[in-house]
Amino acid sequence: MANPSTQRAVVLEEFGKPVSIVNSRPIPEAISGSVVVKVFAAPLPRYIQSFYDGTIPAPTLTPPFVPNPGALGRVHKVGSGATKIKEGDLVYVSTAILGRDDPNTFIMTGHVKGPPGPNTDRLAEGDFRDGSFQQYQRAPLENAYPINERRIKELGIDPIKLVSISALSVSAGAVFEAGDIKISDTVVIGPSGGTAGSRALAVLMTGDVEADAAKIIAATPGGEGVDVYNDWSPGGAQGAPYLPAAEHALKRGGRIVLSGGAFGPVEVPYISVVFKKLKVEGSWMCNRQSMERIIRMIEDGRIDLGPESGVQVNRFQLDEVYDAIKHAEENTRWRNITVVAPNVYDG
């Protein structure tokens, strides 16, 4: 059978206006250093409505473009420069595109871009700006992570559940890298009502810093305090409201990792940082080593995505993109994922 030359895709023409469903968009070519992936599932973040409204508090790509970061799919074509990845491989396509000659420049494909500047604008208008709401997506070779499909089936995992990598990869940057979390460390996540923390032991916060800190400490093993505080304050928050109490609960040598999307200033008492030898670090996405580690943990069965895992994937077609957005906003939480499925899984 001849390869198709056109595809169906969602195109965002203008923020705040309905998207277009294009039925004959050209399939991108596999240029040097790239892969073209047949997309099976594109996971939606919970805040996605604010992106389409144009109210997300972050610099966005300039329309028109195919929206949405992240995809699970199968390699359709491979450009020159590949040594391992091949046509037919099942892959996860990661979201963050880094400048190959300047890693300080980055975008999220089909979504937002990094700090303003000519280098960022150049990357944002380049070959990888279009996201995963299309049947075939072009991505940098280094953004496509092969997955052992045979092993996944041996574990009884529905391959579509591998879109869980999207949420896991965001947390991995905080856990594996910035937090440097070790066995027996006590970790506090806040706010913890969504994807990143809904499996944690809950501590009700009141806004009284001293009282809240005491409750956090009381919930730790032996009442000894906290090794790592991982903050996920959302875009709608002004600063990090739980940080003061969490900082009070940190042990000497504790780590503060900021991973959320809040805008506005964050204050940490200077003298506490000095006396308690605290480390404060931001974390956005994760590096290649962490992504490969997640995939190995899934293939080894250490991260359970099987029938008893409770992972639920809610699928929508390209034509149902607004139903998918509404569902994601209302239902996304730990192991409850909303996806748009441009193609049916063919494995």
Predicted confidence at residue 260, as pLDDT, reads 84
* Residue in this structure with the two tokens 């990661």, named with its chain if needed: 94
**In the chain, pLDDT over 70 holds for what percent of residues?**
96
Q: Which residues contact 139 (CB under 8 A, 6 or more apart)?
A: 34, 35, 36, 37, 71, 93, 109, 128
Q: Tell me the pLDDT tens digit for each residue of 261-305.
A: 777 888 899 999 999 999 999 888 888 999 999 999 999 999 999
Fold equal for 6-148+161-166+287-340 and 180-282: no
Mean pLDDT of 118-131: 95
Domain ranges of the chain: 6-148+161-166+287-340, 180-282
Mean pLDDT of 108-129: 94
Statement: residue 108 has pLDDT above 90: yes
Statement: residue 236 has pLDDT above 80: no
CATH number of 6-148+161-166+287-340: 3.90.180.10
Predicted confidence at residue 193, as pLDDT, reads 60
Alpha carbons 242 and 240: distance in angstroms, whole number: 6
Statement: residue 345 has pLDDT above 90: yes
Predicted confidence at residue 195, as pLDDT, reads 58
What 3-state class would DSSP assign to 147?
A: strand
* Residue in this structure with the two tokens 């809040």, named with its chain if needed: 262
Predicted confidence at residue 201, as pLDDT, reads 73
The string of DSSP codes covering 151-213 is HHHHTT--GGGGGGHHHHHHHHIIIIIIS---TT--EEEES-SSTTTTTSPP----S-HHHHH
CB of 308 within 8 A of CB of 155?
Answer: no
CB of 121 within 8 A of CB of 67?
Answer: no
Statement: residue 37 has pLDDT above 80: yes
Mean pLDDT of 21-29: 95
Q: Any idea which architecture 180-282 has in CATH? A: 3-Layer(aba) Sandwich (3.40)
Statement: residue 1 has pLDDT above 60: no
